Amino acid sequence: MIGIFDSGIGGMTVARAVEQLLPDHSILYLGDIARTPYGTKSAETIIDYSLRNTEFLLQKGSNLIVIACNTASSVATERLRQEFNVPIIEVVTPAVQAVLARSRTGRVGIIGTRATVRSNIYERSITALDPQFKVFSLACPLLVPLVEEGWINKRETKMILRRYLHPLKDKQIDTLVLGCTHYPLLTNLIQPRIGNRVNLVDSSIETAHYLQRFLADHPGIVRKNGDQPATRRYFVTDLTESAQQVAAKIFNRPLELELV
C-alpha cells in the first residue's frame, strides 16, 4: 500500500496523479490540516510532524511513503530514511530531473514556502548536476493558506501572485518549478502572470511518474491488488468545509475525508 502525507490538502494533487497512473494500487493519504502550514515552522518541528505522519501511515499498512510536501521533503527526508526501513520518496528529486530535461537556457525559477527556499535544496540539487544552471528561488508564504481556504480564483490571490512573480519575470527564466504541491491548483493563475513561454514544472505530476518508474523497477515492494479493487482512504487531522471543497475540486468528485 502506498502511504502519502502532506501538510494539508495540497498533497492530494500527488495522490490524484498516483490514482491515475497506478489505478491497481491502494493509497492511504494523510493531510495534516490542523498544523498547516509547515513552511513557517522550524526544521525541528517539521521533522517531528513528518515522523508522526509516517508512523501513522505505516501503522495503517503502508509499505512505501511518499512525502507529498516540498517543505517536509527538503527538511525531513534524510531523517525519515534513517528512522524507517521502507522506501521514502520525496517530491524534490523528480522535479529536479524534469528541470534538467526541459530547460533550454538553464535559467530556472523556484517558488515555494519559506522553509523550502531556506533549505536551498533545489539550487543545490540542480547545480550539483549541472553547475551552469542559474537558479532563482522565491518564498511565497501566503499561497498555501489561500489554497487551504479555497481562495483559488479570488482577486486577492491574483494580486498576490502578480506581486510574487514579478521579480522572477525580470530574471528571464524559461522554467518555473511549482515547489509546493498546493501550487498546481493555481496553475491557471500562475501561467499568464509568469508568461506563456515559461515552462511550468509540476512536482505533483513528476512525483507520480517517478513513483511509477520506481515500482516498475521494484515490483515486490508494493503489491497490486489483483482481483480485489484498490482502496483509497483520505485522512485529515482537521475537517473543514473549505478542505472538503478543495478536495472535491482536485479529484473532480466528492471525496470522503476521515478525521483522525
Which of the four pLDDT bands, split at 50, 70 and 90, describes residue 225?
low
pTM score: 0.92
Looking at residue 237, what is its pLDDT?
A: 97
Which residues carry a binding-site annotation?
6-7, 38-39, 70-71, 181-182
Kindly report the backbone phi and psi dihedral angles of residue 238, in degrees, each rounded to the nearest multiple of 5, phi listed first. Answer: -155, 140
Range of the domain at 97: 92-203
Which residues belong to the annotated binding site for substrate? 6-7, 38-39, 70-71, 181-182
Residue count (the chain): 260
Distance CA 42, CA 236 (A): 22
Residue 65 corresponds to which cell in the numbers above?
511513503
The reply to whether 98 and 165 lie within a common domain is yes
- The answer to whether residues 128 and 190 belong to one domain is yes
Residues 85 and 97 in one domain: no
The four Cα atoms 162, 166, 168, 172 give a dihedral, to 10 degrees, of 120
- C-alpha to C-alpha distances, 99 to 17, 24, 200, 202, 227, nearest whole angstrom: 19, 29, 9, 10, 38
Catalytic residue (one of 30, 64, 69, 99): 69
The single residue of 180, 190, 205, 208 carrying the catalytic annotation is 180
Same domain as 136, residue 72:
no
The reply to whether 180 belongs to the active site is yes
Q: Are residues 116 and 137 in the same domain?
A: yes
Residue 230 and residue 218 in one domain: yes
Extract the C-alpha cell encoding 41.
515552522
Q: Provide the domain count of the chain.
A: 2
Q: Could you identify the residue written with the cell 553547475?
A: 131
175-213 per-position pLDDT tens digit: 999 999 999 999 999 999 999 999 999 999 999 999 999
Q: Give 43-79 pLDDT, tens digit per residue.
A: 999 999 999 999 999 999 999 999 999 999 999 999 9
